[in-house]
Every structure is written in C-alpha cells, then in structure tokens.
Amino acid sequence: MNKNLRIALVTGATGFIGSHLVLRLMRAGWQVHIVRRANSRIAYAYELSDVKTHTHDGTTEGMIRLVGDVQPEVVFHLASLFLSQHEASDVERLVASNVLFGNQLLEAMKVHGINRLINTGTSWQHYENKAYSPVNLYAATKQAFESLLHYYVEAHGLRAITLKLSDTYGPQDPRPKLMNLLKRVAEDMQPLAMSPGEQWIDLVHVDDVAQAYLTAAERVLADTVQGHECYAVSSGQPIQLREMVRLVEGVLGRSLPIKWGGRAYRNREVMQAWEGTVLPGWSAQVNLAQSIQTMFTDLNLR
C-alpha cells in the first residue's frame, strides 16, 4: 500500500450521493474504505476497484474495531434514512440510522484519536429559513446528531464540517425524485397529480455535491477548522417548481400531463429555499438547463 495515499472512511457509500463521492475520492488518489450493513448492495463499479469494504455489525464495539482497523484521516458521514413523512413504525429505524449509528461512529473516532469529520445535514433543518425548525422527523434526527457532535467537538477536540444538502439530482439516480417522476410522465404520458407548484426548489447536481465533500475535506485537512462549521450546498439559483417543469417541456417539445393542484401541499411544505452560508471555496458548476437537456433528450418517447 502506498503510504502517501490519504485514507477516507465513507458511510452511506451504497447510496446515490455516497457512490459518486467514493468514485470521486478514488479518482483524486484517496484510498477509500466504506462502511456498509450486511444486506447493503454495493453500487456502481466498486467490485472492480480497490475500494475496501467493511461490514458494520450494529454494535459500538464493532464500530470501534472497524475504525481502528482503517485509521482514516477523514471520515465522510453520509449514511442516513430519509423519509419525507413517517409512521409510528418508522421511529426506531429513523433514530437507529440517523442518531445511534452516527453516535457509534463518533465514539469510535474518539477512542482512536481520529478528529476530522465531514457530516451530512439537510436544508430541511431550516424550515422557513429559521435558525432551526425541522420540516419533518428526518430533519429533527439530523439536528439531534449535530447535538451529539457538539459534545464530541467540545469535549474531545473533534473538528467537523456539516454540509447541509438541498435537493440533489443526476444521471442514473434510483431514487423516486422529481426528475425521475417527470421522466416517467414523459415516457408514458399518464397524468400526474402535483401540488399547485408554487414552491421554490434548489437543485444541485450530484457531481457538484461530490466536489463539495472534497472541498470540505481539504478545508478540514488544512487544520483551519476549529470546532464545528456548517455550510449550505446550494445552487444559489432556486427555481419555482412550475418553471422547472416548463424547462423539461421545452426540451421535450411538448406539454406534460401535470395536474397542478391535484394534490394539496404537504404539512410543512417547503415553499422557499434555505439561504444558508455556502461552503467557502465551492460553488455549483453544473447548469440545470443543460443537465435537463442531456437527461431528457435521450428518452425513448412515443
């Protein structure tokens, strides 16, 4: 093994954003280790690469052993369970994924004296642009983890950056997000009931998101971070949902059967993009209109 390689430990590496981050880290010359659950599917071309996989057994002791084996310079914590709305049966899963798992990671870092963390938050911690107001329980669990992180920062010298993500998109996205919904409508032309469409959305391409993590890593490696810093990963150019659909229709050259107002706004619907401080040294580079052109012109439309 090349001792000059930087070593990264990535949680959530089997997800859409985590997968892109792992590939970007590898291209940048990092040695990458990923943490996964026993039943997690390894995405993309990991099997063909030299990424190191580690299975978490669910215990704090197991996490301590795992982190001790890796000895990473930087930990990238992306693992989470996202639910826009939850049922009572989801509470344990949300807390286990978004709070307990992260706390085990922090404790393992403390035990081994590893003190650089890039954490993942959400703009949904800031409903109506407030300093803290969770849109949903998912956002509240993200804030709960930050409270735990605050303890490890103050008591054990951890240096951390939390990147609070807006909505994300990109090619080969398996998630049931807006772009995929619109692709489905474009292909089958079946009506889709949507809200009145007046909300402003902040879409950031996954390539830009991955770069934000690398920029944050360089910042924390430079040892200029003291304590815990929080930044927005924002395009800086929010767009109204109706206008977003019009862009897609312009590329396709036809109208989509969207039933505006066919469903009511959800409780605590996010109507405006969060205006947080953007990560220094980073800005979104991928143009939304050009991305839509690429993503929708290749559809096999009847």
Digit-coded pLDDT (tens) for 242-301: 999 999 999 999 999 999 999 999 999 999 999 999 999 999 999 999 999 998 887 655
Pairing of strands 116-122, 74-77: parallel
Structural domains in the chain, CATH included, are: 7-169+203-233 (3.40.50.720), 178-202+236-274+286-297 (3.90.25.10)
pTM, to two decimals:
0.94
**Given this model, what pLDDT does residue 302 score?**
47
Q: In what order do the strands lie in the sheet with 74-77?
A: 52-55, 31-36, 7-11, 74-77, 116-122, 159-165, 228-233
Return the minimum-mean-pLDDT range out of 80-94, 212-226, 287-301: 287-301
Q: What is the mean pLDDT of the chain?
A: 93
- Beta bridge partners of residue 8, listed in sequence order: 32, 74
Percentage of the residues of the chain whose pLDDT score is greater than 70: 94
pLDDT mean over 221-238: 95
User: Quick one: average pLDDT of 141-162?
Assistant: 98
Give the pLDDT confidence score for residue 37 in this predicted structure: 82
> What would the DSSP string read from start to end of 59-109?
SHHHHHHHHHHH--SEEEE------SS--GGGHHHHHIIIIIHHHHHHHHH
Residues with Cβ within 8 Å of residue 76, at least 6 apart in sequence = 8, 9, 10, 11, 21, 25, 118, 213, 217
At residue 167, the pLDDT reads 96
- Which helix (H) or strand (E) segment holds residue 215: the answer is helix 206-221
| pLDDT score, position 5 | 80
47 pLDDT above the threshold of 90: no
Say which residues have a Cβ less than 8 Å from residue 67's Cβ, sequence separation at least 6: 9, 75, 105, 108, 109, 111, 112, 114
Query: 102-106, 149-153, 218-222, 224-228: lowest mean pLDDT where?
Result: 224-228
* pLDDT single digits (tens) 159-183: 999 999 999 999 889 999 999 999 9
